[in-house]
Amino acid sequence: MLTGFVNWLLAKRFHAMAVALIASILPWGFWLSGAVASLWILRKGPAPALPVTAAAVVPSLLWAIQSDVMPLCGLVLIIVMSLLLRVTVSWSRALIGTSVVAALLIQSGLLIPPHADQLLAQMQRQSPEVKAMLASYAEQGLNAQALGVLVMGVLSGLVLLVVAFGVTLLARYWQARLFNPGGLREEFLKLRLKPVELLIIFGIALLGMALGIFSTMVVVWLPLMAAGIALVHGVVDLKGINGLWAAIIDILVLVAWPVTLIVLLLALIDSFANIRGRLASNKH
């Protein structure tokens, strides 16, 4: 059934345009329209996919006019990630490039929620910890109000980055299902940040923080998280462990901050130690 649906989407441009347009009109349906556009970009290329991409984007522009820019920004990130993956055939480069674009969107203020000041005030009333943290920043001479609002924008950006990554993975899975069975699994298990890529993302983050552009911290987060998840899946595969454990860790990465930190740290170590390469060598 899935194979038939994907074949139908690729058979005629009109099919893909219709699905992308209708999905984009629906509230938070941008992920499906983004997946369709991503599939066409990955399989057909940017030029043939342009009408499909436009069909996905136009309704999101109408949402943006009504003060909901999240669908538009989400589509931008999905399209950028798909284009970079198509051109570089490298998940690490696609993730880094897309994270840079997300940082620019955050810094522009587009991802700051409407009425952020009121939301921040409500958070301070409901959470003494947040209130104490902002008071501490104010004592250090920082604009705690502006910093709190920026944090909201960063959180929105991180959510959209995760969605863009998931949607692009879905489109890549559709493509692999038809034309390269098992290809996505092999491709994803190889995801690892090279030392030079690690230096680049930390360099961008540190330079941004030195210049007061705190949104650049997101450039580190998604590439490391994705590399950490790929590492966990790779180790599970090499050791022949039940794949359920990898799925449990995937969920915990999103909901349990300590697990997230551990996975990020493992990805950092793996950039230099190449844990999967060593395990594969020992296995043989």
Task: Give pLDDT tens digits for 218-266.
Answer: 899 999 999 999 999 888 888 777 768 778 878 888 778 788 889 999 9
Rounded CA separation 100/176 (Å): 27
pLDDT score of 142 more than 60: no
pLDDT of residue 124: 59
Residue 239: CB atoms within 10 Å: 10
pLDDT of residue 54: 96
pLDDT score of 137 more than 80: no
pLDDT of residue 275: 85
Rounded CA separation 190/276 (Å): 9
Higher pLDDT, 125 or 153: 153
pLDDT score of 14 more than 90: yes
Mean pLDDT, the chain, whole residue set: 85
pLDDT of residue 245: 76
Q: What is the DSSP letter of 26?
A: S
pLDDT score of 57 more than 80: yes
Rounded CA separation 267/228 (Å): 4
pLDDT score of 114 more than 70: no
